[in-house]
Amino acid sequence: MKPQMNHFNIEEIRAEFPILQQQIEGNPLVYLDNAATTQKPIVVIQAITDFYMQCNANVHRGAHHLADEATRRFEQARDTVARFIHAGDRSEVIWTSGTTEAINIVANGMAQRLKPQDEVLITEMEHHANLVTWQQACLRSGATLKIVPIHDNGALNTDAFLALLTDHTKLVALPHVSNALGTVNPIKTLTAQAKAKGALVLIDGAQGIAHGDVNVIDIGCDFYVFSGHKLFGPTGVGVLWGKASVLQDWPIWQTGGEMIDQVTYQKSTWGALPNRLEAGTPNIAGVIGLAAAVTWFSQLDIRAVQAHESALLARATAQAHVFDGLQIVGTAPDKIGVFSFILHGSHPADVGFLLDRQGIAIRTGAHCAQPLMHRLGLPGTARASFSVYNTLDEVDALFIALKKTQQMLA
């Protein structure tokens, strides 16, 4: 049964996800690796299948029915995503392969504009995609990369952020939600402070997009980026949203078909948004699948979704507090969806392996955040991350399995 508008029924939602019905090593699958990737509802799988079965053709260039239908679905998907994030104009939605490519498009342009006296500001809690990319852009341009520290509980040091902002700050890039800690950053306030200094602002929304209420106009940022696969959509597709006034003359990322206006043997000129930043044949099926995911998610009662995910995190936190030998990593007052922890005397990889034998899927390691782990003095953590289809019983199952794991490792 397809969820209806303003509707939230956990059993009906779970029935939409075929992969959740399987068993691992004879145990029901408990999938708690949603910060890495979310599972896909049947409507997304069907939308991709329908494209390949009904109208597989290249977009924008064909002169036949299949190409027209493919183009219609492809551009309708752009409208769907634009509405979902409250974009000012559909042309501001640029299709990418994911968050990483989207950040690289912005960084490539910034590297051509930055000067040695300029500064780029990021945080200690960055995913490598929003750290290494800016590190390399600064190395190419001679600009300075500055790092905003975090508090020991994983919250951003907002006083330090304000102190590090200067008239030389040309861009601020920070995560909406930390993938390793679950910290929710006050992005609207931080964006306003950065804009007051004349800086551009990029928000890494990879972990924030699937929790609802993303309004890019209200945030006030210049760029908001995310991946489809963390929003119940397929892998290999994502979004770079950018203000049209900023993107319309942004340095091109790739050249080739689709993004041009006029070409001669001597020179070429580039098309208008969004085409100028979408060279080559796009991931058409992925885009259509992402639109199906956005439509599916938008039909849920977002307030109920948020309350449910908060209840999952609260249940895990409460059980952790009475679990001897378990330490939560990341206890910021405002956090969501991510429960990172260590079992004293155990390596996270061993914990993950033994949980898997019991049907519990989590993530272990540095979570593409090695500098953050170094800041915390840890080799890595075990991370359970929650989504709309997880249940309180699954949280309980995690802790039952952790108790057995602790006994085995002892």
pLDDT digits (tens, 9 = 90+) for 209-234: 998 899 999 999 999 999 999 999 99
Longest Cα–Cα distance of the chain, Å, equals 71
Residues 16 and 81 occupy one common structural domain: no
The reported pLDDT for the residue numbered 5 is 45
**CA end-to-end span of the chain:** 45
SS3 state at 226: strand
The answer to whether residue 51 is domain-embedded is yes
Residues 201 and 344 occupy one common structural domain: no
pLDDT at 2 over 70: no
Out of 253, 276, 298, a domain closes at 298
List, for residues 125-169, the tens digit of each pLDDT value. Answer: 999 999 999 999 999 999 999 999 999 999 999 999 999 999 999
| CA nearest to 31, candidates 361, 357, 399 | 361
The span from the CA of 315 to the CA of 301, in Å, is 21
Question: 3-state SS of 309-359?
Answer: HHHHHHHHHHHHHCCCCEEEECCCCCECCEEEEEECCCCHHHHHHHHHCCC
SS3 state at 386: coil
Residues 97 and 230 occupy one common structural domain: yes
Q: Which amino acid appears at position 359 of this protein? A: G
Residues 105 and 172 occupy one common structural domain: yes
Out of 255, 282, 298, a domain closes at 298
The reported pLDDT for the residue numbered 266 is 98
The answer to whether residue 403 is domain-embedded is yes
- What CATH code is carried by the domain that includes residue 309? 3.90.1150.10
The answer to whether residue 55 is domain-embedded is yes
- pLDDT, average across residues 324-348: 97
| pLDDT confidence bin for 61, thresholds 50/70/90 | confident
Q: Say if residues 237 and 77 touch (Cβ distance below 8 Å).
A: no
- pLDDT, average across residues 15-32: 96
Residues 252 and 366 occupy one common structural domain: no
- Exactly one of 55, 138, 221, 368 is catalytic; name it: 368
Residues 188 and 310 occupy one common structural domain: no
The answer to whether residue 3 is domain-embedded is no
Residues 92 and 235 occupy one common structural domain: yes
The answer to whether residue 143 is domain-embedded is yes
- What CATH code is carried by the domain that includes residue 168? 3.40.640.10
- Angle made by CA atoms 153, 156, 157, in degrees to the nearest 5: 100
The reported pLDDT for the residue numbered 6 is 53
| pLDDT confidence bin for 123, thresholds 50/70/90 | very high
The answer to whether residue 122 is domain-embedded is yes
Q: How many CB atoms lie within 10 A of CB 347?
A: 15
pLDDT at 7 over 90: no
List, for residues 192-204, the tens digit of each pLDDT value. Answer: 999 999 999 999 9
What is the total count of domains within the chain?
Answer: 2
**Structure tokens that stand for 235 in this block:** 């892998």
pLDDT at 3 over 50: no
Q: How many CB atoms lie within 10 A of CB 245?
A: 10
pLDDT at 24 over 50: yes
pTM for this predicted structure: 0.97
The answer to whether residue 336 is domain-embedded is yes
- pLDDT, average across residues 105-123: 98
The reported pLDDT for the residue numbered 85 is 98
Residues 195 and 103 occupy one common structural domain: yes
Q: For tokens 């990172």, name the residue.
A: 340
pLDDT at 379 over 90: yes
Contacts of 147 (CB under 8 A, 6+ apart): 121, 122, 123, 124
**Structure tokens that stand for 234 in this block:** 């397929």
Helix axes 65-84, 284-298, angle to 10 degrees: 40
The span from the CA of 172 to the CA of 165, in Å, is 9
Residues 177 and 236 occupy one common structural domain: yes
The span from the CA of 226 to the CA of 102, in Å, is 8
The reported pLDDT for the residue numbered 196 is 98
**Phi, psi of 263, rounded to the nearest 5 degrees:** -130, 130
Residues 197 and 149 occupy one common structural domain: yes
**Structure tokens that stand for 291 in this block:** 């639109």
Out of 234, 267, 298, a domain closes at 298
| pLDDT confidence bin for 51, thresholds 50/70/90 | very high
- pLDDT, average across residues 87-106: 98
Q: How many CB atoms lie within 10 A of CB 305?
A: 18
pLDDT at 124 over 70: yes
Q: Which domain holds residue 183?
A: 47-298
- Angle made by CA atoms 270, 276, 280, in degrees to the nearest 5: 105
The answer to whether residue 181 is domain-embedded is yes
Residues 285 and 371 occupy one common structural domain: no
Residues 67 and 21 occupy one common structural domain: no
Where b means 16+ CB within 10 Å and e means fewer, 198-236 reads: ebbbbbbbbbbbbbbebebeebbbbbbbbbbbbbbbbbb
- pLDDT, average across residues 92-113: 98
Q: Residue 368 catalytic?
A: yes
Q: What mean pLDDT is reported for the chain? A: 96
List, for residues 235-266, the tens digit of each pLDDT value. Answer: 999 999 999 999 999 999 999 999 999 999 99
